[in-house]
Amino acid sequence: MQNIFLSDCDKPKEECGVIGIYEKNNINTAVLAYYGLIALQHRGQESAGLAVKNDGIITCYKEMGLVSEVFDSQILNLLKGDSCIGHVRYSTTGESFVTNAQPLVVKYKNGTIALAHNGNLVNAHSVRREMEEQGMIFSTSIDSEIIAMLIAKNYRDDIADAIVKTMDVIKGAYALTIMTNDELIGVRDKHGLRPLVLGRLEKGYVLASETCALDTMGAEFIRDVKPGEIVIINEEGIRSVQTNAEEKSSCIFEYIYFARPDSVIDGISVYTSREIAGRILAKEQPAEADVVICVPDSGTPSAIGYAKESGIPYAIGLIKNKYIGRTFIQPSQEVRETGVTLKLNPLKEAIQGKRIVIVDDSIVRGTTSKKIVQALRDAGAKEVHVRVSSPVVTHPCYFGINTQRQGELVGASTLIERIKEKIGADSLGYLSYEGLLESVGSTGKGYCAACFNGNYPVVISEECDKHMFERR
């Protein structure tokens, strides 16, 4: 019996997590942000950065690596300031060096702006072209710099005005934390595509991508930043500027996979939505089986929901090795063939001779599912029924999630029956689109589910890609 080596590359990749802190007379906000970024680490493991403001002067430190690798006590000691913003970025290849890490810092006639961005613009190409035509000069290859530059460019007297003007130009997804020489600002795009929440500290405020970061920092949740809203925090307190928002369409995939289950986004608990999805899935896609297991860790809540609804007992069926980190030596092809597999080990006792329902949160390419099904059979499963707690992914995402291009999406062109055969399952069932909406308490409004239905809330008029500007 062998266990399974799963690279994470079969899952969509969230682009980033952002954070912002403003707390009067607390010179150690960077320490708090460090813990907040660790709570958001699941949103990005490639690079981490913090910009702090002290006496109006902004200092930035960022590097490739996990939060706990990038920062040590010595560096945090150098990052004194009563305000800061932070950023974690997802893992890509080794070719994207530290230049593209965030926060970004731009300096212009009225001061300095630091910016951290989660999301993806869809008109970056044309906006940047236009800015370049006007003579603007960039120093990175990422779309986030466009936002920082536009804000600086639009600044006259009031930062809110500058941001409003910027938001009229840029299209796409952005949850931003921004720091000027005086203020901390949070911005959520007009559709609310990416999440951003506001919390309260004893003597200040916090902005973060998810509520789990508030919990970790001991901050009290106030509310979600609204689509199109600009929240400005300075020594006079907090104020809000509401731009003319579009219809809210927050990313439904946050609930399915990205967000931490202990987070609450726009009033909906991530954990609860996943458990409900599992329940609905059980109704829509029942199975004659002896046990329900999950693909750890993201499939767990849905599997529990499935088990509850179906009455089939829930069990642990795959054990995950938690010691496989970044320095781990990948097994060579040769070694892999002799059976060295590591990440997931089937728990034979829970599986042998049983009819298994295995619940996963999503299938993107299908290669991992195939390995898991095979491993379960090797461990003695009589039948393997794969249940997916989201619909078939048919369209690429342009808003900050690194899904494969359409050609790679197994669901884009393949009938479910064919996918079932490909992964070797006895049966395969997806959650319906309606079921997904129900799991997040929706009747069809309020969410972007373009990856499932192709209805993009913003017209996609150009090829867009976070790193498009690298190719020049």
The DSSP bridge pattern shows strands 184-188 and 175-179 to be antiparallel
- Nearest approach in angstroms of CB 69 to a second copy is 6
Window 105 to 164, contacts with a second copy (CB under 8 A)? 105-109, 111-112, 129, 132-133, 135-141, 145, 148-149, 152-153
List 160, 206, 212, 448, residue binding a second copy (CB under 8 A): 212
323 counts as binding a second copy under rule CB under 8 A: yes
In the complex, minimum distance from the CB of residue 453 to a second copy, in angstroms, rounded to a whole number: 27
The count of other CB atoms within 10 Å of the CB of residue 63 is 13
Tell me how far apart the alpha carbons of residues 195 and 177 are, in angstroms, rounded to a whole number: 12
Among 235, 288, 349, 421, binds a second copy (CB under 8 A): 349
What is the smallest separation between the CB atom of 178 and a second copy, expressed in angstroms?
14
CA angle 365, 370, 375 (to 5 degrees): 145
Using the rule CB under 8 A, give the single segment among 51-59, 163-171, 406-414, 456-464 that binds a second copy: 51-59
The yes or no reply on residue 9 touching a second copy (CB under 8 A) is no
Contact range with a second copy by CB under 8 A, out of 34-42, 170-178, 232-240, 413-421: 34-42
> Which positions from 68 to 107 touch a second copy by CB under 8 A, shown as an x/- string?
xx-xxxx-x-x---------------xx-xxx----xxxx
301 lies in the binding site for a second copy (CB under 8 A): yes
User: Exposure string (b/e) for 401-428, b if CB count within 10 Å is 16 or more?
Assistant: bbbbeeeebbbbebeeeebbebbbbbbb
Which of 222, 245, 316, 416 is close enough to bind a second copy by CB under 8 A? 316
The contact pattern for a second copy, residues 452-471, with x = CB under 8 A and - = no contact, is: -----------------xxx
**Span from 56-64, 156-164, 388-396, 438-446 in contact with a second copy (CB under 8 A):** 56-64
Min dist. Cβ of residue 438 to a second copy (A): 17
Vertex 417 angle, CA 12 and 360, to 5°: 35
Span between the terminal Cα atoms of the chain, in Å:
49
Nearest alpha carbon to residue 304 among 313, 233, 147: 313
User: Two tokens at 220?
Assistant: 């009290």
Torsion sign across C-alpha atoms 34, 38, 42, 45: positive
Size of the site for a second copy (CB under 8 A): 111
Q: Shortest Cβ distance from residue 254 to a second copy (Å)?
A: 15
Q: Within positions 165 to 204, which residues make up the interface with a second copy, using CB under 8 A?
A: 181, 201-202
Residue 60 as a binder of a second copy (CB under 8 A): the answer is yes
- DSSP per position, 243-298: ------EEETHIIIIIS-TT-EETTEEHHHHHHHHHHHHHHHS----SEEEE-TTT
Of residues 420 through 459, those in contact with a second copy by CB under 8 A are none
Binding test (CB under 8 A) with a second copy, winner from 39, 121, 233, 359: 39
> In the bound complex, what is the minimum distance in angstroms from residue 85's beta carbon to a second copy?
15
Strand partners, 179: 114, 184
Contacts of 54 (CB under 8 A, 6+ apart): 27, 80, 81, 82
Q: Toward a second copy, which CB reaches closer, 69 or 288?
A: 69
Residue from 6, 19, 32, 175 touching a second copy (CB under 8 A): that is 32
What phi and psi, each to the nearest 5 degrees, are found at residue 146? -55, -45
For a second copy, the binding residue among 245, 290, 331, 424 (CB under 8 A) is: 331
Question: Cα–Cα distance between 378 and 321 in angstroms, integer?
Answer: 19
Of 271-300, binders to a second copy (CB under 8 A) are 271-272, 275, 297, 300
Residue numbers annotated as active site: 16
* DSSP classification of residue 400: S
